[in-house]
Structure 1
Amino acid sequence: MTTANPSVDAAEAAWLAALTAPSGDATAALLHKEFVAIHGPTGLIQDRETFLAGLEGRPPTLEATTLQTTRREFTDTVIVSSLQQLSIPFVPDAPPFVVQAAVTRVWVRHDEGWLLGHLQMSRRFPPG
């Protein structure tokens, strides 16, 4: 693993913060115009606009963390893979449900900094 790039670290932190933000504006600011999201195991592939539209109407994420992060850095691209854990209140007045996914985020250097060009998520069952 290479030395962490502070601006990619900031982009990763902004991504986690955006997951818990009340609107999709913070997420939109992080996405490259050519962004693609792949949701496994369903195989759903979304472009930027479709991904952002899908954020509306979903239950809010109360907490987002990453675990077991690996990173590969290239000149203008950084690939970050991790387990992502989200706490989501799907049922009112019940404890939030914990969702885990194996996630890969591909950050691309852009004039505005690092933007997310590709996101691949595959849900998994939490251990235990």
Structure 2
Amino acid sequence: MTTSSTVAKDLAVSAPVPASAPTTVEEAEAAWRTAQTLPDPEPTLRALMHPDCVIVHSAVGHIHGVNDWLVYVGNLGRTSQVDTFDVTVQRLGTTAVVSCLQEMRVAFVPGLATFVIQAAVTRVWVQSRSGGWQLAHLQMARRLPPG
């Protein structure tokens, strides 16, 4: 277990929010799914993320900040589809926690069949004083497809 002496920042007010930031959690979720399927997802994903966002992902449990995660995504392969199931949203003031099962189709090798990745996912969104929502934390735990 790793501990940190860093004091948590007030994520809801510490970062500038782009003018195009989603005004609802549902819009933020839809924008997030759509951004992953763009030919160049990096600028759109970055705009949706709080600069201090932490991402915990992959089968080995990487923990990345925004820049390192975006490099990882850029090297992953093209994502052609993202579907979510069993979505729950908990609103806690200026914070929203979204939990879901997510299925992504990723072309690790261009021209070959896509690979299906399923994960249990939690996304934590924070709202700025101007009302826009940004991703503050993402946890993805891969799981094997049923059957």
Task: Indicate whether the TM-score tops 0.5.
Answer: yes
Count of paired positions: 123
Is the Cα contact below 8 Å between 2:124 and 2:136 reproduced in 1?
A: yes
Structure 1 segments, 4+ long, off by >6 Å, are none
Q: Does structure 1 residue 61 correspond to structure 2 residue 79?
A: yes
Choose between structure 1 and 2: higher strand proportion. 1
Q: TM-score, normalised by structure 2?
A: 0.78
Amino acid at match of 1:100: Q
Q: Does structure 1 residue 15 correspond to structure 2 residue 32?
A: yes
Is the Cα contact below 8 Å between 2:124 and 2:138 reproduced in 1?
A: yes
Amino acid at match of 1:106: V
State the alpha-carbon separation in 1 of the partners of residues 39 and 131 from structure 2: 23
Amino acid at match of 2:74: E
Question: Can you list the C-alpha shifts for 1:58-117, whole angstroms capped at 9, x where unaligned?
Answer: 210010110111111110000000011001122444321111000000000023600000
Is the Cα contact below 8 Å between 1:38 and 1:46 reproduced in 2?
A: yes
Q: Does structure 1 residue 25 correspond to structure 2 residue 40?
A: no
Q: CA deviation at 1:41?
A: 4.0
Instruction: From the CA coordinates, give the structure whose radius of gyration is larger.
Output: 2
Query: Which of 117, 120, 123 is matched with 2:136 structurally?
Result: 117
State the alpha-carbon separation in 2 of the partners of residues 44 and 116 from structure 1: 18
Amino acid at match of 1:53: V
State the alpha-carbon separation in 2 of the partners of residues 41 and 59 from structure 1: 17
Percent identity of the aligned residues?
A: 41
Query: Which of 53, 59, 64 is matched with 1:46 structurally?
Result: 64
5+ unaligned residues in a row in structure 2: which ranges? 1-22
State the alpha-carbon separation in 2 of the partners of residues 68 and 26 from structure 1: 25
Q: CA deviation at 1:44?
A: 1.1
